[in-house]
Amino acid sequence: MRTAVVILNWNGRHWLERFLPGVVERSSGADIVVADNGSTDGSVEWLMTHQPGVRCIRLERNLGFAGGYNEALRQVDADRYVLLNSDVEVSPGWVDHLNAYLDKHPDMAACQPKVLDQAHPDRFEHAGAAGGYIDRNGYPFCRGRIFEITEQDHGQYNDEREVFWATGACLLIRAEAFHAVGGFDADLFAHMEEIDLCWRLRRAGWRIGYTSAAVVHHVGGGALGYGSPRKTYLNFRNSLIVLTRNLHLRLWWAHVLRRLLLDGFAAVKFLLEGHGRHSWQVVRAHWHYFARLPRLVRERQVSFTHHRSPDLTGFYHRSIAYDRFILGHKHFDQLDASAFEGPTPSR
């Protein structure tokens, strides 16, 4: 079983200098590949000089996370891919633990490790934490992270289990599954693309998993900072696209309308907090979503004709926004366990 660790890089030379040597040292048995997304900071030159044993795939321009990986993985001959952010510090045996988990679960397309904050190793990191979930309005959250709140890690998620989605910051995925569903949606560019991919994999009959046996530490926001208005735009636009394309419910449009209303409240909140640029990005996100809506509806009709309704283990039939901002829930164990589809997630 051949595994390739593929790191997508865009002007991240400082992250490569800091973390790539550890990836090379701690990923025995796996091929290491850096796919460069048209960097202009000397990343490729540094790689050729300091890590000549690492294969470099040079892309002519920045195709984003989704398009960059789609193009790079067409050029990687492996049975399994590990998609790894350049700002991730890996631990010994991490690849072996991820592979062992997929070996035990042949019906799982992909899995993720426990993702901790590199700067605060006792806390979960925003992107992925201990496995991803999604609510009825398309808002993602994780065991260990609800919106901006991350939990301290005291072993509460030391387990193995099925989740709804797995993080793109560190994702082991079967090559056959990735290509069978068409890879990432390149139009998403970045953010929410792994959730869209996992949802489509589910609709094709696959499952998604998490194992705490593998641990990585993620800086987060390495390519696009958490406070970036561009990130706000991509998250709000892509959430609506993913929800419209994949939501299985007959009245899917009612959930989209409710999501649009909730986004409006978020835009007002940004404005009242003095973040006018972020408020404007929500408006832009909606504008571009409506421009794409006719095509999305056509894609949805074709997709649901050819794919069955997915196993929705991990789907949350409540509003995580209501639970967080009205009820004040900050930790995963405060959520309504009966509202989850499938087996109740461990606390």
Q: What one-character-per-residue DSSP string does 330-344 give?
A: -SGGGS-GGGBSSSP
Q: Dmax over Cα atoms in the chain, in whole Å?
A: 56
pLDDT in tens, 271-327: 999 999 999 999 999 999 999 999 999 888 887 776 666 678 899 999 999 999 999
Q: Is the pLDDT of residue 225 over 90?
A: no
Structure pTM?
0.91
Strand partners, 163: 208
Q: Is the pLDDT of residue 6 over 70?
A: yes
pLDDT of residue 85: 96
pLDDT of residue 39: 95
Give the confidence band of 1 by pLDDT, cuts at 50, 70, 90: confident
Give the confidence band of 247 by pLDDT, cuts at 50, 70, 90: confident
Phi, psi for residue 116 in degrees, rounded to 5: -110, 160
The full set of domains in the chain, from first to last, is: 3-218 (3.90.550.10), 229-339 (no CATH)
If you search the block for the tokens 């300091």, which residue do you land on? 50
In the structure encoding, which two tokens stand for residue 113, read together? 């490790």
Residue 340: DSSP 8-state: B
Residues in the chain: 347
In the structure encoding, which two tokens stand for residue 252, read together? 């899917």
pLDDT in tens, 63-119: 999 999 999 999 999 999 999 999 999 999 999 999 999 999 999 999 999 999 999
In the structure encoding, which two tokens stand for residue 111, read together? 């899995």
Q: Is the pLDDT of residue 134 over 60?
A: yes
Q: Is the pLDDT of residue 145 over 60?
A: yes
pLDDT of residue 306: 65
